[in-house]
Every structure is written in C-alpha cells, then in structure tokens.
Amino acid sequence: MFNQPTGRRQTLTAGFLALAMAATVGTALGFEHIGGFIPCKLCLEQRIPYYVGVPLMLVALASAALKGPAWLTRGLLAAGGLLMVAGLALGVYHTGIEWSWWAGPADCSGATQVITSDVNDLFADLSKRPPSCDKAAGRFLGLSFAGWNVIASLFLAAIAFNGARRPA
C-alpha cells in the first residue's frame, strides 16, 4: 500500500483533511471564545488530535503536491487517520461520562487554577470555573460537543485511511 504511487486523490484528501480538521477545532474555539461555552478538561484534550493533525495534513499536502515519496504521503495520511481514531476514542469516553455510563477522571470536577496577565481581571478570572466533565455544556440534535466530535472524528478517520489506501 505505501509503495503505490500517489496522485491527485492523495493531494485532495490531504487538503480536505487539513481544512476539515481546522474547521472542526475552529468551531470548538468559536463556541468557546464567541459563544461563551467554557470547555472542561476532556473537551480540551479532544482538541489535541486536531492541533497535531492540521500541520500533519499540511505536510502531507505538500508531499503529495510536490510528488514526494509515496510512503511519506500515504504514511502521513494514515497517521492523520490514527489521530482521528484517538479523537474518536476520547469523544466516546467523554460522551460515556456525560451519559453516566462510566465514571470520569477524578481531576475533572470543574475546579482549576486560572492564570491571568491583567491584574484588573484577576478576581473576575478566579470566579470562572470550567464545567465538570460529566455535564454537557449544551446539546444539539441530542448530541453534546463530545458526541459531535465522535461523528467528526469517525468521518475524518475514514477519509484519511481511504486516501492512504486508495490508488492515485
């Protein structure tokens, strides 16, 4: 699989994944900074595969567009798929905690240390506490943000693995 030549399919796949991963994590950041939804510890951890995946897919895009070694482009696409599987696992874990299917981590009770650089905002920032991991910040069509991350991660993982596997 990794020795098959790469072509337009891998270039388009890497470009799509870079944009889709950026849009997904950008949406989460928008809900946080514009919508005022404060993420819990697990919500923040679910963003890590996207933070790593976007630059990785940009490297895959460059490799595919510049006719780099097939093993490199396909390997990067497969690594992107594995990152999304990790995001999927984190999303399923978090969703299960929200639905009380299993217990969450003890350190996700909503109490955290807040650091500010503005002395005037010190007391205001100290009153902000992220929600507990077992409380969904909101639901849309019955799914929490963690539930939507499961769907997004599954979709992006399938695309990444398909791009890594399929002929040029």
Q: Which residues 6+ apart lie within 8 Å of 112 measured at CB? A: 41, 129, 130
Domains of the chain: 8-165 (1.20.1550)
Q: Which band of pLDDT confidence, cut at 50, 70 and 90, is reported for residue 117?
A: low
**pLDDT for res 112:** 46
pTM for this prediction: 0.81
CA-to-CA distance for 33 and 36, rounded, in angstroms?
A: 6
**pLDDT tens by residue, 53-110:** 999 999 999 999 999 888 999 999 999 999 999 999 999 999 988 888 888 787 776 5
Report whether 21 contacts 83 (CB < 8 A): no
Number of H helices, E strands in the chain: 6, 2
C-alpha separations of 80 from 1, 8, 151, 165 in Å: 16, 18, 16, 13
